[in-house]
Amino acid sequence: MGQQEKVATSLAGAVSEEISASLAPVDAELERRYPGDPGTRQPVHTVYVPGDVFAADTIRSWGDRALAALDEHAPDAASFAAVLGLSDELAEPVYTRVRAKLEREPIEDLRVDFEDGYGNRTDAEEDEAAARAARLIAEAYADGTAAPYMGIRMKCMEAQVRDRGIRTLDVFLSGLMEAGGLPDGLVLTLPKVTYPEQVTAMVRLLEAFEKARGLEPGRIGFEIQIETSQSILAADGTATVARMIQAAEGRATGLHYGTFDYSACLGVSAAYQASDHPAADHAKAIMQVAAAGTGVRVSDGSTNVLPVGPTEKVHDAWRLHYGLTRRALARAYYQGWDMHPGHIPTRYAAVFAFYREGFEQAAARLARYANRTGGDVMDEPATAKALSGYLLRGLDCGALDIAEVARLTGLTRADLEGFASPRRGDLTASA
């Protein structure tokens, strides 16, 4: 046993104490503003259905129509793989899982739309549609046919439609309360947000509802839809979206990019309005940085190219949608919008391929990290967080099974969740 090293210090303990005391407000601010990911499931997509179209069988109908599209245009794994360029290794497991998903859980997140997809109706008509949406959603959660997440998109906080949006939200939430209470999967979307003050107004509105109904303060959260240039860059040059997150006072759950409204706001010609346009990339990059660490999740937008018509046109639309979804996933946008039942097969194909093709490498790297064994990549706690988050998202959507993850990692789901949500000090200690 070697000679023990002599340890020398020069600073009195009071120095460290003084520094800690001076940074205490910063420590509290970091904890408040950047709590980290909530650790809950994030849906891979959001489906929008107009308020007058939404019905008790909407979810099942979308699944059946998606399956019918596969039956007609890609009736087996080989034909589907040929359209999308899937490898022989991925073709069968992806196709099989896509069909199983469409049968079991065709929609992960559904928003009954009372904004652009619904338009302006008489007050009586919109009241009735909002009450019906509340009743049908409550019934769906009660009988087990609901999507994991469901809710509405109200009209925005701009003066022309503000009162109507507030009333629709009130009718909808009151209907849910009368039917037994707010479901755990409730999600609300506030569109066309331009100023942080509009977010603050939404917070005050929800506070008033919670008080009126005796709910726990902060019970109701909402998504902020980013559809205007002003929501990205304010007149004073600051990033408005970052101020919006703070204005939400902990209630913001997501930032959803609106492809076509945002593109039009910047003057992009209709033929070039798409989620991979440079203007879209710029907006989403700012959204992503603003949301990082806050627990607010970012969602990509949609494509308006629908997979309808003859097989050749359907295949073209499928390839476009698949490519856009894979591109978004690589950029860490794990959620997007789907506007038509024909988009769902390629949504799930892209998501499942993304997780399955990188699964073995991610599992091996996480296993080495967990066991502190060697390898050709030296990973740190932040990377272990990303690896476990990747595997958890794959499990949540159905791309992966817990048995195969456990077999390759030797870890339980609880282990994965521990790596995915470390304490702040665990992430910075070895950085």
Specify the pLDDT at position 379: 58
How far apart, in whole angstroms, are the C-alpha atoms of residue 71 and residue 260?
Answer: 31
Name residue 300's amino acid: D
For every one of its 431 residues, what pLDDT tens digit does the chain have, with 9 covering 90 and above? Answer: 567 889 998 988 899 999 999 999 999 999 999 999 998 999 999 999 999 999 999 999 999 999 999 999 999 999 999 999 999 999 999 999 999 999 999 999 999 999 999 999 999 999 999 999 999 999 999 999 999 999 999 999 999 999 999 999 999 999 999 999 999 999 999 999 999 999 999 999 999 999 999 999 999 999 999 999 999 999 999 999 999 999 999 999 999 999 999 999 999 999 999 999 999 999 999 999 999 999 999 999 999 999 999 999 999 999 999 999 999 999 999 999 999 999 999 999 999 999 999 999 999 999 988 887 555 555 578 888 999 999 999 999 999 999 999 999 999 999 999 888 765 444 443 33
Can you tell me which residue has the tokens 């925005």? 156
Cα–Cα dist 176/429, whole Å: 46
Q: Give dist(CA 265, CA 260) in Å, integer.
A: 8
Query: Residue 354 corresponds to which amino acid?
Result: F
pLDDT score for 378: 52
Per-residue buried b or exposed e for 317-349, using 16+ beta carbons within 10 Å of the residue's own CB: bbebbbbbbbebbeeebbbbbbbbbbbbbbbbb
Q: How many CA atoms lie within 13 A of 35 on its CB side?
A: 14
**431: Cβ contacts below 8 Å, ≥ 6 apart:** 380, 381, 382
Number of C-beta neighbours around residue 311 at 10 A: 13
DSSP 249-274: TT-EEEEEE-HHHHHHHTT--GGG--
Nearby residues of 265 by Cβ (< 8 Å), 6 or more positions away: 227, 228, 229
The secondary structure element, H or E, covering residue 190 is: strand 186-190
What gap in Å lies between CA 249 and CA 409, rounded to an integer?
38
Is 237 buried (19+), middle (13-18) or exposed (0-12) by CB count in 10 A?
exposed
Q: 3-class secondary structure for 48-67?
A: EEECCCCCCCHHHHHHHHHH
Q: How far apart are CA 338 and CA 361, in angstroms?
A: 30
Nearest-10 Cα torsion for 298, 304, 308, 311: -80
From residue 222, give the alpha-carbon distance in Å to each of 203, 206, 339: 9, 9, 21
**What does the block give as tokens for 17?**
């104490």
Report the pLDDT value the prediction gives residue 94, as an integer from 0 to 100: 98
Look up residue 223 and give its amino acid: E
Would you say the C-alpha torsion 382, 388, 391, 393 has a positive or negative sign?
negative
Residue 117 backbone phi and psi in degrees, to 5: -75, -10
Tokens, residue 87: 């490898």
Question: Which residues face 5 on adjacent strands?
Answer: none
Query: Are the C-beta atoms of 409 and 366 separated by less than 8 Å?
Result: yes
Residue 300 has a pLDDT of: 97
Centre a 10 Å sphere on the Cβ of residue 36 and count the other Cβ atoms it contains: 17
Coil, helix or strand for 224?
Answer: strand
Domains along the sequence of the chain with CATH: 45-354 (3.20.20.60), 359-428 (no CATH)
CA 347 from chain centre, in angstroms, equals 14
Phi, psi (degrees; rounded to nearest 5) at 92: -70, -50
**pLDDT given for residue 420 in this prediction:** 86
DSSP state, residue 157: S
Widest pairwise Cα distance in the chain = 87
